[in-house]
Structure 1
Amino acid sequence: MQKVDVEQALLKKEYLRKMNYLAHLYLSGEDEHVLVGNFIGDYVKGKQFQRYPLQVQSGILLHRQIDWFTDRHALVKDCGNRFRENYGRYAGIVTDVIFDHFLAARWTDYSASPLRPFAKKVHAVLLTNFALLPKRVKLFLPFIIQHKRLESYASLEGIHESLAIMGTRTSLPEEADFALEVLQRDYESIRQEFEAFFAELVDFVEANFEVYIQKPALK
């Protein structure tokens, strides 16, 4: 197998891990090295995190705790059940994408910084720390930057496009139309589930980790 084929196989496998990148980045707070660690958390196994600088280690461990909290939450499971009929065991990945949509779409309710400057800052931080990124992350980071994935989730078109691309280039079922239909049908119910869940997740992170999130001023 040629090198390019190996890289494409890795990309296909790794791009299907947890997809709620925007949520993880938001929950990193203001420390850039924590952000890097939180972004790469899925790709650092076991005690491998000890190879990284201390603040990056903190971000990796934070990522694991966010996933622990998310995977066990009843509201996340309820949302995933809506997509299980056509997505099966991949329903959780679709839920990650859908929840990132609500975070992006209602970004001004959660962050003091507009989404575009936030995304550009994230891109700059990740590129500055490119040498620290696992090889698999280096493979898909250009795709995320080029296609403005963090920003594109704010629109239904962006969600559909992402799921469609994943359906053709990864092992995710090609059910983007179904996912969008369910999202549009149950939009308000899913939004309420996301908001209730995410409020608890933010409280969990701020109460248990040294993370400061710049939220918008109260109106």
Structure 2
Amino acid sequence: MYNSLTVEKSVISGMNYLAHLYLSGEDESILVGNFIGDYVKGNQYQQFPLAVQTGVLLHRQIDWFTDRHPLVKDCASRFKTNYGRYSGIVTDVIFDHFLAVGWRNYSIYPLRQFSKHVHAILLSNFNLLPLRVKLFLPFLIQHKRLESYAGLEGIWQSLAIMGRRTSLPEEADFALDVLRQDYDLIKREFEVFFADLVDFVESNFEVEIKKPADNRL
């Protein structure tokens, strides 16, 4: 989600989907497009129904905004020693962790309910999904990858899988050490950044994100 660097992504990584799904709001077709955004290149999005096209383009705008945010760059710099140019991808995964941990502050739906709803939408639109998405979707559902982000073990597993199956360095232990060391600071960076991102999406796109009444985003 947060970094547009081209990288061979594992078909089973479940890398950073939670934020994109959340930022899709209530429109199921936009959610589908936002979910598959990394797998639709160039003008290929024009092959999909209009609302799905909107989701793909929203995905790209979210990436564009995120890549340029100073707090994202600050966080990614912590991982450059071992991850180099892939440090932004590690930040993607870790930011989804903080979204999952603080989920009640962002959504009126429990994370498990939201995840099951997403699974149902994706399965009902299975024929629209790119082949690579069709291949990893059963794994994502079976292993509850969206919910697993709430635990550090789930983050470690995602990074470890990507390290084994993609060009991402095999440095999951290092990433978790950095996260534990600077946990509270990175959490605050995420919270400020994500508030900016939600505001960007709601201000520039016709997306309705239902948040708790006491949310201060």
Instruction: Provide the TM-score with structure 2 as the length reference.
Output: 0.92
Distance 2:14 2:194 in 1: 16
- Residue equivalent to 1:6: none
Secondary structure of the residue aligned to 2:212 is coil
Q: Is the 8 A contact 2:30 2:55 kept in 1?
A: yes
| C-alpha distance after superposition, 1:39-95 (max 9, x if no partner) | 011111111111111110110110000000001111001100101100111111100
Work out whether 1:128 is the aligned partner of 2:124.
yes
1:107 equivalent in structure 2: 103
User: 1: distance between equivalents of 2:130 and 2:149?
Assistant: 24
CA shift, 1:121, in A, is 0.5
Partner of 1:35: 31
Q: Quote how far apart the aligned CAs of 1:141 are.
A: 1.3
Query: 3-state DSSP class of the match of 2:186?
Result: helix
Structure whose alpha-carbon radius of gyration is higher: 1
Alpha-carbon distance in 2 for matches of 1:63, 1:168 = 26
Q: Distance in 2 between matches of 1:84 and 1:18?
A: 22
Report the Cα distance in structure 1 between the residues aligned to 2:9 and 2:175, rounded to whole angstroms: 21
Supply the distance in 2 between the matched residues of 1:91 and 1:55 (Cα, whole angstroms): 32
Contact 1:160 1:176 in 2 (8 A): yes
Per-residue Cα deviation, 1:101-121 (whole angstroms, up to 9, x for no partner): 000000000000000010011
Instruction: Give runs of aligned pairs for residues 130-209 of structure 1, distance below 5 A.
Output: 130-209=126-205
Shift of 1:172: 1.6
Q: AA paired with 2:153?
A: E
Q: Please report the RMSD computed on the Cα atoms of aligned residues, expressed in angstroms.
A: 1.6
1:15 aligned partner:
10
- What aligned pairs does 1:19-98 form with structure 2 within 5 A after superposition? 19-98=15-94
How far apart are 1:218 and its partner, in Å? 1.6
Identical residues among aligned pairs (%): 74
Q: How many residues align?
A: 208
Q: Which has the higher mean CA deviation after the structures are superposed, 59-68 or 38-47?
A: 38-47
Cα distance in structure 1, aligned partners of 2:183 and 2:8:
30
The CA deviation at 1:20 is 2.2
**Equivalents in 2 of 1:153, 1:32: separation in Å?**
22
Gaps of 5+ in 1: 1-11
Paired residues of 1:115 and 1:151 also in contact (CA < 8 A): yes
In structure 1, C-alpha distance between the alignment counterparts of 2:172 and 2:37, rounded to whole Å: 27
Structure 2 runs not aligned, ≥5 long = 1-6
**1:213 equivalent in alignment to 2:205:** no
Shift of 1:18: 9.4
Amino acid in the other structure paired with 1:13: E
Residue type of the partner of 2:133? V
* Inter-partner Cα distance in structure 1 for 2:14 and 2:68: 14
Q: 1:169 to 1:45 in 2, by over 3 A?
A: closer
**Greater percentage in helix:** 1
